Amino acid sequence: MSRSMVRRRYSEFVILRSILQEQHPSLSVPRLPGRTLLGKRFDQRFIQDRCSGLHSFLKAIVEQPVYLSNKSLHLFLQSSLTMEQVQNVVNGCESFELPHNNSSSLLLYPVDNKAPNEDGRVGILKREICSSLATCAE
């Protein structure tokens, strides 16, 4: 199974959560861990707790089938685009193609709130995310 890594700032998770709330108003989007307290930003315990909270957030997201077809989520997880670029791609203002060099390459599905069959690429993505979250949480 191939793996990739994308670095994201906390503020980008905040934007992703906001996008998911806007695009899926009938759903309760999982909460993010709290913001940093002044002076705690580089505290090792705080960093570990935040990392664990962000992993829990992502795991809760990918466990809800409706989010698995969300273009913003796919781009957030599988590209290094800024959140502004993610929104531009989703809104059709920019184009973007992920490399097709592995079996879990991104397929951007229409935003119709219908989750594709979990036996396909979305199922593969979900399993890879859950697998990597379990690995990272150790």
Q: What is the pLDDT of residues 3-46, one digit of tens each?
A: 667 889 999 999 999 999 999 999 999 999 988 766 676 788 88
**77-81, 84-88, 115-119, range with the lowest pLDDT:** 115-119
Q: CATH fold of 10-110, please?
A: PX Domain (3.30.1520)
The pLDDT of residue 108 is: 41
Domain ranges of the chain: 10-110
The pLDDT of residue 20 is: 96
Looking at the predicted structure, is the pLDDT value of residue 107 above 80? no
The token pair that represents 129 in the structure block: 């995310």
> 């962000």: which residue's tokens?
54
The pLDDT of residue 92 is: 84
Looking at the predicted structure, is the pLDDT value of residue 62 above 80? yes
Give the model confidence (pLDDT) of 75-85 as tens digits: 999 888 999 99
In this prediction, residue 100 has a pLDDT band, given cuts at 50, 70 and 90, of: low
Secondary structure in 3-state letters for 70-120:
CHHHHHHHHCCCCHHHHHHHHCCCCCCCCCCCCCCCCCCCCCCCCCCCCCC
